[in-house]
Structure 1
Amino acid sequence: MDFFSWPPIAAVLDAAYGFVTALSAAVQPFAGTAAGLVAVVLLTVVVRAVLLPVGVSQVRAEFVRRRLAPKLAELQSKHGHDRELLGRKTIELYQEERTSPFAGMLPLLAQIPVISLVYAVFTHPSIAGHGNALLDERAFGAPLGTSFVGLTGAGPQVWPAIVVYLVVLALIAAVTTVSRKVLALPQQPAPGGPGTAATPPAGMLRALSFLPYVTVVFAAFVPLAAAVYILTSTTWTVLERSTLRRLLDPERRRPTEGGQPSISH
């Protein structure tokens, strides 16, 4: 049974679908045949704007983890041989700092229902018993309801539309590359220098750094509308996270000898 066919969820999905189609109709006069694509972008912006408090919570949690990293590494160095004692000391540290090792996870989980709903609007051919007209729309000749992989087997007549998909996938890859550099928090060195038990192997870190590119592969298998959502959301994440880190970084302002705060560059 499709989860989104359950009446309460179907009603919410239908409301989201109505909002997207209304956006498409509103931008039709100036967006023309790209109205559906513009509606997807606007919907993504609305969703991410609503979730801005979630982004604030995540950034604050990042700074907490960075601040506690040296202390956690020290505990690992001292008590790594005794897992029970290490766990107890770790919990005590978080209690002293009035935080939790799960700080930032609940805000992340809060995004899942919203993102799942938006994704369903872009992928379900039928919503609440009626057809999904959004998937019939085209942007520069490319159908919003068809994936890049699905279109490549349709014959040479679709190559002009495939260019649109290639551009979207290339932009996702470019934004992902920027995010790897912009969103990586500088790590404070752990006690004992490189090679301590708390420091992951360099090879593992390099491998994990390429995981975001899985998004590009995923985007090739979903409808173009969903790929545009991924592109817009990823771009928003880069801009939001970099801005919030500058605004919320506790090390940006520190008191000088005269007692006046100074901004570190």
Structure 2
Amino acid sequence: MIDFFVSIGSFIITPLYWITSVVLVGFHNLLSNVMDPAGGASWALSIVGLTLVIRAALIPLFVKQIKSSRNMQLLQPRVKELQNKYKHDRERLAQETMKLYKDTGTNPFASCLPILLQMPIFLALFRLLNEAANGRPKGILSQEQATQFGEATLFGGRIADTFLRADGDVTVMLLAAVLVVAMTATTFLTQRQLMSKNMPADAMTGPYAQQQKMLLYILPLVFAVGGVAFPIGVLLYWTTSNLWTMAQQFYVIRRNPAPGTPAAKAKADRDAAKAARKGIAPGAAGTAAGEVATAVEEAPRPARVQPKKAPRSQRKSGGGKKK
């Protein structure tokens, strides 16, 4: 049975070795034109490039995640109504809640998709680094590239080393600790950004808010505990991914905030200030456009002119068929 699960895992992870190594080596070959191929900087930037490619590919899922999260927030008043109505019937409450989510096209688990889909890539990079550190290439890495990758150093510490396997090397331990703190802090700040800026007041006390509050503290704790066993290169990958998420989330919340949230109020204030600078009253442009449209709709249409009927005598004399 164990061999069966090992085979399944190998079947899934092996293609990811190739995908990860193709992107990684592609960036490394590009950077090698201007940097030392064996240097840690070229491999570290290649990991950053790999992260950016993966996160760019996940943009559609991120948009779906934001929409689902926004719907979950806006549905909280209706969820509370269901809770009050079926508070003595948990089974019926669960059924009605899931029906509400289905009818509104909301997936309560969509917020986990980007993280779940990144985990296989995360594990593939983890294994890629470990194998390279032992001189065993994976994917399209050549033996020379695997050796370079495994021995590459960043700020004096090997990117394949971990905090727990530093063997007393203070440089490795310090670099790993800094990246673990950075990874934990960015995870916390990303979740807090969503809760503090893009959640309405009436959604802050519902079950969804409680779930978000738990994740706010549990996820950083999990990463902090597990991070001491991650190679420096993997910590760099995850920290870069978190920074991408923060920037992407900031852009989406700023441009398209959920109604009734602090972000929505801030956007309304910015729009009003922008209109004031241009000397336009807020909503004036929309009102003017509406008035024009109404005027067009209400304008009298020209009467259709019907052709005059010829007199009967004229029809008899000239209206016959041509011979």
Settle same-fold status: TM greater than 0.5.
Answer: yes
- Per mean C-alpha deviation after superposition, the further-off stretch among 238-247 and 111-120 is 111-120
1:249 aligns with 2:249: no
Q: 2:192 aligns with which of 169, 181, 185?
A: 181
Tell me by how many angstroms 1:74 deviates: 1.3
Q: Which residue of 2 aligns with 1:164?
A: 175
Provide the C-alpha distance between the structure 1 equivalents of 2:180 and 2:16, rounded to a whole number of angstroms: 30
Provide the C-alpha distance between the structure 2 equivalents of 1:55 and 1:37, rounded to a whole number of angstroms: 25
Provide the C-alpha distance between the structure 1 equivalents of 2:182 and 2:227, rounded to a whole number of angstroms: 11
Q: Which residue of 1 aligns with 2:61?
A: 54
Gaps of 5+ in 1: none
- Per mean C-alpha deviation after superposition, the further-off stretch among 229-238 and 117-126 is 117-126
Provide the C-alpha distance between the structure 1 equivalents of 2:191 and 2:117, rounded to a whole number of angstroms: 23
Provide the C-alpha distance between the structure 2 equivalents of 1:93 and 1:109, rounded to a whole number of angstroms: 25
SS in 2 for 1:147: coil
From the CA coordinates, give the structure whose radius of gyration is larger.
2
With normalisation by structure 1, the TM-score equals: 0.76
Identity of matched residues, %: 21
Provide the C-alpha distance between the structure 1 equivalents of 2:59 and 2:214, rounded to a whole number of angstroms: 30
User: Match of 1:234, as an amino acid?
Assistant: N
Q: Which has the higher contact order (CA 8 A, sep 6+)?
A: 1
Provide the C-alpha distance between the structure 2 equivalents of 1:98 and 1:162, rounded to a whole number of angstroms: 47
Provide the C-alpha distance between the structure 1 equivalents of 2:177 and 2:107, rounded to a whole number of angstroms: 43
Provide the C-alpha distance between the structure 1 equivalents of 2:87 and 2:124, rounded to a whole number of angstroms: 43
With over 3 angstroms needed to count, the CA separation of the structure-2 counterparts of 1:114 and 1:172, relative to structure 1, is closer
Provide the C-alpha distance between the structure 2 equivalents of 1:4 and 1:85, rounded to a whole number of angstroms: 38
Matches within 5 A, 1:110-149: 110-125=117-132, 126=136, 127=138, 132-133=146-147, 134-149=149-164
SS in 2 for 1:150: coil
Deviations 1:67-110 (A, max 9, x none): 11111011111211012332333244234434444455556644
Gaps of 5+ in 2: 269-281, 288-323
Higher share of residues assigned strand: 1
Provide the C-alpha distance between the structure 1 equivalents of 2:105 and 2:9, rounded to a whole number of angstroms: 43
Q: 1:231 aligns with which of 236, 239, 247?
A: 239
Q: 2:286 aligns with which of 257, 260, 264?
A: 260
Q: Which residue of 2 aligns with 1:25?
A: 29
With over 3 angstroms needed to count, the CA separation of the structure-2 counterparts of 1:201 and 1:19, relative to structure 1, is closer
SS in 1 for 2:160: coil
With over 3 angstroms needed to count, the CA separation of the structure-2 counterparts of 1:161 and 1:250, relative to structure 1, is closer
With over 3 angstroms needed to count, the CA separation of the structure-2 counterparts of 1:209 and 1:104, relative to structure 1, is closer
| CA RMSD, 1 decimal | 3.6
SS in 2 for 1:21: helix
Deviations 1:140-184 (A, max 9, x none): 221111111110xx23xx323433223323322432343243122
Tell me by how many angstroms 1:112 deviates: 4.1
1:41 aligns with 2:67: no
With over 3 angstroms needed to count, the CA separation of the structure-2 counterparts of 1:199 and 1:165, relative to structure 1, is closer
Provide the C-alpha distance between the structure 2 equivalents of 1:60 and 1:200, rounded to a whole number of angstroms: 15
